[in-house]
Amino acid sequence: MRILVKLGGSLLDTPSERQRLAGDLAALPARVQTVIVHGGGKQMTRFLAERGVESKFVDGLRVTTPEVVDAILKVFAGSVNHELVASLVAAGARAVGLSGIDAMIAEAEQLREDLGAVGRIVRGDGALLELLTSNGYLPVVACVAGDRQGRFFNVNADQMAVACAAGFHADKLFFLTDVEGVKQDGRILPVLTPAACQQLIDAGVATGGMQAKLNAACDGLARGVGEVVIVPGGRPGVVNSLLAGEHIGTRLAVHT
């Protein structure tokens, strides 16, 4: 089985939480080939603020000036990635830190000129991920993508996860978040189809980050990922529980 686990940056913000997650992921069965994709928006905003740079957002996307691009490499592909890799190694995993630039795991183009170096992923190549996982390594991919002219782009971590999952031919994509799942009227919706996701978006129930996550999840299903599950990343052992068949969070599939 092949899975991709996307970790929200908020889950990696403290050493204790990062070490707990690393322990859980390092303990996954060897038969489960795993790839990790992570964000780091919270850490990025803090890094920029410490240097007197204001974070500006348009339509929920961080405006990425040349100054911010430099910070993205230092934070996403640097400190956040390497701290997570180090925690995984300490937990016994053969973790390898990567970004979408490596071997064109995620190839991108500029999304919009007014956003600067914000990228839209145009294709993914899972060959390196397959090579590593088939030999017992655990790839850890930061949400930075590149193009064939040597430029690099800030990309949405959910979209990076989908591109990697599709390129890797993942059977399951797990979004580990700081929420319990997709909610409507205060209750968690256990199962959603793409049509039901669109209804939630149209009705204004799913907005902001959850809207973006649902759009990314539906894109993943359309690109061949077997199922996508949005789950609370703060729950100990959540990935192993999902693999054991436990119903947690919200599962998205083409057919319920």
Distances (CA, A) of 22 to 36, 148, 231, 246: 11, 33, 17, 21
What is the pLDDT at residue 185? 87
What is the pLDDT at residue 61? 84
Give the mean model confidence (pLDDT) for residues 22-43. Answer: 94
Give the mean model confidence (pLDDT) for residues 124-144. Answer: 97
Q: Which residues in 203-216 are b (16+ Cβ under 10 Å) and which e?
A: eeebeeebbbbbbb
What is the pLDDT at residue 210? 84
- Could you tell me the domains of the chain? 2-252 (3.40.1160.10)
Give the mean model confidence (pLDDT) for residues 49-67. Answer: 88
pTM exceeds 0.75: yes
- Angle formed by the axes of helices 157-168 and 208-222, to 10°? 10
User: pLDDT band at residue 256, thresholds of 50, 70 and 90?
Assistant: low
For the cut 90, the answer to whether the pLDDT of residue 164 exceeds it is yes
* DSSP result, 150-205: S-EEE--HHHHHHHHHHHHT-SEEEEEESSSS-EETTEE--EE-HHHHHHHHHTTS
Backbone torsion region of residue 104, taken as left when φ is above 0, otherwise alpha when ψ lies between -120 and 50, otherwise beta: left
Tokens matching residue 61: 């996307």
Q: What is the pLDDT of residues 85-132, one digit of tens each?
A: 999 999 999 999 999 999 999 999 999 999 999 999 998 999 999 999
CA angle (71, 146, 170) in 5-degree steps: 110
Q: What is the pLDDT of residues 236-245, one digit of tens each?
A: 999 999 999 9
Distance separating alpha carbons of residues 239 and 235, to the nearest angstrom? 9
The fraction of the chain above a pLDDT of 70, given in percent, is 100
What mean pLDDT value characterizes the chain?
A: 93
